[in-house]
Amino acid sequence: ITHFTEQPDKDLNEGLRLELHRLVDNYCDRHQNEPEGEDQEWVVLQELEDGFNEVLLNTVDLSYQNDSQDSSPLLPEVRQELRSRLRRSPVISLEDQDFESWDPRESFSDRVLRFFQRLLGYLLQKWRALLAWLRRAVAAGMRALCCAVETVWSVFQDFCSFMAQALGFTIQA
């Protein structure tokens, strides 16, 4: 039974790995097949960042749907909020990262590695910030839900108590 419950996650994780590898392959191909230059490097790097974020967010959505088959899929508003949080992350923006200027003497592999390492570090920071926000939001939401349930429960208890007294007085009369 464990094998069947773990299989969807394994398939999702493998699919994620394949998509991430495909994005990296495209990144390397773009470097090799297009004119080199600092502006072009920047465009390709931004496209890679967008691709990573989209693939990761889609996998989060699919994983949530697989893990929460009894509940509804992520609401579009929740998906949009996650995307929005990634865009306006408190992490310093990619544009503000300290990328050294492009050096024509630098080898292709060194340049790709340098840019890729910076991008990965940046994305790790952004996703950590997103996860921290999500944990805070869930905790706050659960606290709010608990307070709402406690309030309703209190009103219901008062109602039951009142009805017991009212019915008790009616029966005695």
Between CA 127 and CA 91 the distance in angstroms is 9
- Nearest to 126, CA basis, from 166, 78, 90, 73: 90
Between CA 94 and CA 122 the distance in angstroms is 7
Q: Which of 47-56, 62-71, 92-101 has the lowest mean pLDDT?
A: 92-101
pLDDT at 1 (0 to 100) = 35
Say what the pTM is: 0.70
* Vertex 60 angle, CA 52 and 71, to 5°: 160
More confident residue, 110 or 100: 110
**What does the pLDDT average to over 154-172?**
85
pLDDT at 173 (0 to 100) = 52
Whether 103 shows a pLDDT value over 60: the answer reads yes
pLDDT at 137 (0 to 100) = 87
pLDDT at 19 (0 to 100) = 95
Whether 118 shows a pLDDT value over 70: the answer reads yes
